[in-house]
Amino acid sequence: PKLNKIICVSSLSKEDIVEEFLVEEGNIEVILNGIDINKFVPGPSNLIQKNKIITTASADIPLKGLKFLVQALPKILTSFPKTTLTVIGKPPSNSEVAELINKLKLYDVITFKSGLSEGEIVDLYHCSEIAVIPSLYEGFGFGAGEAMACGVPLISTHSGGLKEVVGDSALKISPSSVQEIEEAVINLFSDDKKKKELSITGRQRVETKFDWKIAAKFYESSFKEVIETFNNEHNKV
C-alpha cells in the first residue's frame, strides 16, 4: 500500500490486489504480459499428431484444474481411442491427480514433461491437435497465450486473467466441469473448420495484444511517467 506505482498483468489481478492488500486503485496500472511471437509460432500441419491434447498444468496445484481434464479422458477415449494428453509440468507426487491416473488406468495416455527449453515447448505445441486449459484461477495464463501463438486450437476456462488472454479465440468451458471438457474436446476433434478458425483467430489475438514489443512500450511509458514525477518533486525540494 505504500508503493506509488504497481504494475500487474491483468485487470483481475488488479482487483485482487486492491481488495487483498488495500491498495489505492489509482496506484495500479495493468500491462498485459508479453509473449515472444517470433519463437512461439505456428508449425507445419504435417507435424500434428491426431487426437493429441496438450495442457500446461502442475499436477500438484489444485487451482490448475488438471484433475478435471484427467476425469474427462475416459469419455473422450470412447469416441477417440487414440487420444493422448501431454502435460507441460512436473509429474504428480502423492496427489489426487496421481490417484486418478492410477484409478482410471491412464498411465499410457498421459505424459508429463518438465524442465524444457522454449524450443522444446514449441515443438510440443506443434505436434498437438488441440490445447486445453482447465484452470480454476490464473493471474494471466501463459499456457493459453503460448498455445494460441503457436496456432493450436484452444479450449479454456475464462477464470481469472484467462478471460483477458483468450477473449473469443477459444471454446469456453466452465471451471471444474468435466462434462463441458468432454463435450468441447469431442466436438473440436470432429470439427476441422472450427479448429482452423480458432488457430487463426488465436494467433491474430496474440500478435495484436501480447507481442512483447507492445508490452515494452507500455513499460517504457510507465517508467518515464514515474521518473518525471520523481524529478519534479525533487526539483521542488
* Of the candidates 68, 67, 71, the residue with the CA atom closest to the CA atom of residue 104: 71
Average pLDDT over residues 26-49: 95
DSSP state letters, 86-142:
EEESPPPSSSHHHHHHHHTT-TTTEEEE-S--HHHHHHHHHT-SEEEE--S--SS-H
Q: What is the pLDDT of residue 21?
A: 94
Please determine, for residue 45, whether its predicted confidence score (pLDDT) is greater than 90: yes
User: Are 64 and 160 spatial neighbours (Cβ–Cβ below 8 Å)?
Assistant: no
Q: What is the pTM of this model?
A: 0.91
Q: What is the pLDDT of residue 33?
A: 93
Q: What is the pLDDT of residue 34?
A: 94
Mean pLDDT, the chain, rounded, equals 94
Which pLDDT tens digit goes with each residue over 121-166?
999 999 999 999 999 998 899 999 999 999 999 999 998 889 999 9
Which pLDDT tens digit goes with each residue over 55-71?
998 767 888 999 999 99
Q: What is the pLDDT of residue 4?
A: 86
* Of the candidates 65, 38, 40, 30, the residue with the CA atom closest to the CA atom of residue 219: 30
Please determine, for residue 237, whether its predicted confidence score (pLDDT) is greater than 70: no
pLDDT classification of 92: cutoffs 50, 70, 90: confident
Which pLDDT tens digit goes with each residue over 179-211?
999 999 999 999 999 999 999 999 999 999 999
Average pLDDT over residues 13-38: 93
